Amino acid sequence: MFLGRYTTMDKIAIIDLGTNTFHLLIVEVKDGEEKIIHKEKIAVKLGEGGISEGNISKAAEERAVKTMLYFKDKINEEQVEQIFASATSAMRNAGNGEEVMKQIYDATGISINLISGMDEAKFIHMGVKKALEIGSEPALIMDIGGGSVEFIICNNIEVFWMQSFEIGAQRLLDKFHKHDPILPKDIEKLDDFLRKELEELKVKMDIYQPHHLIGSSGTFDTLIDINYEEKGIAKPDDVSFSISLEDFDHIFNEIIHKTKEERMAIPGMIEMRVDMIVVAVCLIQFLIENNEFIDIKVSTYALKEGLLDAILSNEIKLS
C-alpha cells in the first residue's frame, strides 16, 4: 500500500501548527496499514493580535508553547517514535516566526518545518484525495486557513493548477469584519478585495471550468455540522460529506445576519470558529456567485493527512 520503510509497526505524530488551530494526529502504522489512535485540535489563534502587522503576539506565542507542551505529553504517553511538525502562513510570514519556533523547540524538543504555500497546497490535495473521489471532471479544492487560502484545480488524475493566497480568515477578519453583524458595505469591500486578489484564480477558472467545489478544513467542517443539526439528522462517522448550494445559501444568510452571541446559539457552531466563519462564508459565497458550481463536497482530510501520506510514501524523510 505504501512505499518506504513503514512495513512493521511504527507510531507517527503529525502536528499542524495552523494560524488559527493546532492539530495533532497520531497514527499507528503496521504492515503498511494506518490506524488513527489520537486526533485533536486546539484553537491557539496564533495569528490573533499580530498577523496583520506581520508579527506573532506574545500572548499567541505563550498559547503556542503551552499547546505544544500538551501535545508533547500526549506523544510521550503514546510512545511515539517519529514526529513531524509543520507551520504555515502565520509563522512563515511573521517577523518573529523563527524566534517563536525556537521557543517551542527549547520548551519541547520538537523541531518545526516551515512549509511554503505551494507545498501546503500540494499536501492539502494529497489529503483530500485520501478522503474522497474527485472524479474525472475538473474540480476546485479550497482550503480556508487563518492565514492563507489554498486553491487546487484538478481531477482524480492530474493537477491543472494550484496556488496559495495570503488571504486567510484571520486576515480578512482584521480587515473587513468591523461591525457585528457584518454590514453589507463591509461585504462589498471584501468582495472588491477578493476580486483583485484572486485575479489569477479567475483566469484559471475560466480556462478549466471546474463545476465542482471541494472544501477542506475548519469552516467547511462546521458548515457540515450546522447542516446536519438543522436537519435533525445524525452525522455519520465519515471522512467526506456534501452540502447543497441551497443549504449553504441558507446557512450563509443565517451567519451574516447574526451577532457573535446569536451565531454561538446556532446548533453545530463551535467557539473556535464563531468569529472567522463570517468572513470565511463570505469568501465561499463570492466564489459561488462568480462561478457555475453545481455541488459542494467536503473533505475532513486536509494538510495533516496529506503530510502523513507523504511520510508513508517516503516523499518526506523523517530523521
* Residue from 208, 101, 98, 219 nearest 150 by CA: 219
Q: Rounded to an integer, what distance in angstroms lies between the CA atom of residue 191 and that of residue 165? A: 15
Starting at the edge strand found earlier in the chain, the sheet holding 82-87 runs 33-43, 21-30, 10-17, 82-87, 112-114
Chain centroid offset of residue 262 CA: 25
How confident is the model at residue 7, as a pLDDT? 47
Starting at the edge strand found earlier in the chain, the sheet holding 159-165 runs 159-165, 149-154, 139-144, 212-216, 295-299, 240-243
Q: What Rg do the C-alpha atoms of the chain give, in angstroms?
A: 19
Diameter of the chain by CA atoms?
Answer: 58
Question: Is there a common fold for 10-114 and 118-303?
Answer: yes
Calculate the alpha carbon distances from 308 to 110, 162, 255, 300 in Å.
Answer: 17, 20, 34, 14
Chain centroid offset of residue 134 CA: 18
Sheet strands (E) in the chain: 10-17, 21-30, 33-43, 82-87, 112-114, 139-144, 149-154, 159-165, 212-216, 240-243, 295-299
Report pLDDT digits (tens) over 95-136.
Answer: 999 999 999 999 999 999 999 999 999 999 999 999 999 999
Q: Rounded to an integer, what distance in angstroms lies between the CA atom of residue 299 and that of residue 239? A: 6
Task: Establish whether the linkage from the previous residue to 138 is cis, with ω within 30° of 0.
Answer: no
Q: Which CATH number fits domain 118-303: 3.30.420.10, 2.60.40.420, 2.120.10.30, 3.30.420.150?
A: 3.30.420.150
At which residue does the C-alpha cell 463591509 appear? 186
Second CATH level (architecture) for the domain 10-114: 2-Layer Sandwich (3.30)
Return the domain boundaries, the chain: 10-114, 118-303
Q: Rounded to an integer, what distance in angstroms lies between the CA atom of residue 313 and that of residue 319? A: 15
How confident is the model at residue 2, as a pLDDT? 34
How confident is the model at residue 50, as a pLDDT? 87
How confident is the model at residue 217, as a pLDDT? 83
Going from the first residue of the chain to its last (319 residues), give the mean pLDDT of each consecutive group of 10, the final group possibly shorter.
48 96 95 90 93 93 98 97 94 95 97 96 97 97 97 98 97 96 98 98 98 95 97 96 98 98 98 96 98 97 96 87
Calculate the alpha carbon distances from 294 to 125, 143, 199 in Å.
Answer: 21, 18, 22
Which cell is 83 given?
Answer: 514526529
Residue 105 has φ and ψ, to the nearest 5°, of -65, -45
